[in-house]
Amino acid sequence: MNYLLLQVETAVPEAVSTGLFDALSPLEKLLFTMILLVLFAGGWSIMNLSNSLVQMQKARLLAKVDPEILKEVGIEAVAPTIPWWKKVYDRMTDYVPLEKEQDFLLDHDYDGVQELDNNLPPWWKGVFYISMAFAPIYIYAVHFSDYAMSSREAYAVEMEVAAEEVKAYLATQKNAVDETNVTYLADADALSNGKIIFDSKCAVCHGKEGEGGIGPNFTDSYWLHGGSIGDIFKTIKNGVPEKGMIPWKSELRPSAMQEVASYIISLEGTSPANPKDPQGEPYDRSAEETEVTSSK
């Protein structure tokens, strides 16, 4: 579907400038021409059918009138005529009149329903013959020419287009954040939101001011699982089950975890009361391009 939409999007501007028919591929032109011919033939047949039905009804009505009366008003009785299209139709389908159906009955009887040995419906045979005639054209156009793509090629193109669309869509999504692309948020609103989440979910183990408690101290430059924004985000996301820290990915959205991670980084360098002793390895934040803002 995506491939078809892409085709339409690229064809519309071209169609406006060069004309709809000129913008079509050779195969599409052939199909378009065949559709027009079918529509024209169908309309012409309907017109002839309507006219023939009118004439047949007129002849049927006149046949019921006394010929002498018709002569008095200057009209001669007209015998019903069979239109030419009906004759052609009967000849092509081997039409069997109702009075001759006994000659074509088969020895099949299903609860009183008998089967006739009639030919297939003409529309079915017509579609079958058209399909046979079109098959070589389709095979050549799809598999041996540059007019159209095979189903395998169309699938590959559609998957490429879909992948690009997914990438573009994810780029616009605030919550499409993970440890590989997360960035530090220095704006006041993000840090404020991060503090609210920290106070409600993290302070019980890490202290209200990040001084540490059951968990490590966030105000020094030492980190047990890496001190980059990506490392902190990953730790929040997956937790540290062996140390009793649960993973928060099922409770916090990626954007919320980004705000908490940014707030935790902002605590570095602050001076809370009774800080816990440093744990882990020192992390040099001066190498990062992000700005660490002290906030208490």
* pLDDT tens column, 38-74: 888 888 878 877 776 776 676 666 666 666 655 655 5
User: Domain ends where: 99, 130, 164?
Assistant: 164
Chain centroid to CA 277: how far? Answer: 56
3-state class of 7 per DSSP? helix
Average pLDDT of the segment spanning 116-129: 80
Residues 133, 247 within the same domain: no
Average pLDDT over residues 152-179: 84
In this prediction, residue 135 carries a pLDDT of 93
Is the residue at 226 inside a domain?
A: yes
In terms of average pLDDT, the best of 142-151, 167-176, 271-280 is 271-280
**Residue 12: pLDDT over 50:** no
If you count them, how many residues does the chain have?
296
- φ, ψ for residue 295 (rounded to 5)? -150, 125
Question: Do 225 and 260 fall into the same domain?
Answer: yes
Assess whether pLDDT exceeds 60 at residue 2. no
Return the minimum-mean-pLDDT range out of 72-86, 102-116, 226-240: 72-86
Q: Is the pLDDT of residue 114 over 60?
A: yes
Q: How many domains does the chain have?
A: 2
**Residue 205 corresponds to which tokens in the numbers above?**
């183990």
Contact 245, 272 (CB under 8 A): no
**CA distance linking residue 31 with residue 8, whole number of Å:** 16
Residue type, 199: D
Neighbours of 287 (CB within 10 A): 7
Separation CA 165–CA 9 (nearest Å): 14
**pLDDT for position 294:** 37
Q: Which residues constitute the domain of residue 226?
A: 188-287
Based on the fold, state whether residues 141 and 220 are members of the same structural domain. Answer: no
Q: Please give the Cα distance from 61 to 250 (Å, whole number).
A: 82
Same domain assignment for residues 136 and 223: no
56 and 197 in a single domain? The answer is no
Identify how many contiguous H helices and E strands the chain contains and give both numbers: 10, 4
145 and 193 belong to one structural domain: no
| 238 vs 246: CA distance, rounded Å | 7
Neighbours of 274 (CB within 10 A): 10
- Structural domain includes residue 206: yes
Q: Which of 209, 220, 219, 207 is nearest to 281 (CA)?
A: 220
Q: Which residues contact 158 (CB under 8 A, 6 or more apart)?
A: 1, 2, 3
182 within some domain:
no
- Residue 153 has a pLDDT of 87
Could you read off the pLDDT of 240-276 as tens digits, one per residue?
Answer: 999 899 999 999 999 999 999 999 999 999 999 989 9
Pair 250, 119 in one domain: no
Q: Per the domain annotation, does 98 fall within a domain?
A: yes
Kindly state whether residues 158 and 192 are assigned to the same domain. Answer: no
| Angle between helix 254-266 and helix 188-201 axes, rounded to 10 deg | 90
Q: Is the pLDDT of residue 293 over 60?
A: no
The mean pLDDT value for 115-135 works out to 83
Does one domain contain both 244 and 160?
A: no
* Greatest alpha-carbon span in the chain: 127
State the pLDDT at residue 61: 64
Strand duo 105-110 + 113-116: pairing: antiparallel
Nearest to 295 by CA among 163, 157, 195, 169: 195
| Lowest mean per-residue pLDDT among 88-97, 233-242, 259-268 | 88-97
How far, in Å, are 19, 54, 68, 79, 172 from residue 59 at the CA level?
A: 49, 9, 16, 6, 74
Residue 175 domain flag: no
- Mean pLDDT within 80-100: 72
Here the CATH number for the domain that contains residue 244 is 1.10.760.10
Residue type, 8: V
The whole-model pTM stands at: 0.43
In angstroms, the CA 76 to CA 57 distance is 16
Assess contact for 245 and 239: CB atoms under 8 A. yes
Q: Are residues 28 and 139 in the same domain?
A: yes
Q: Give the pLDDT score at 148.
A: 81
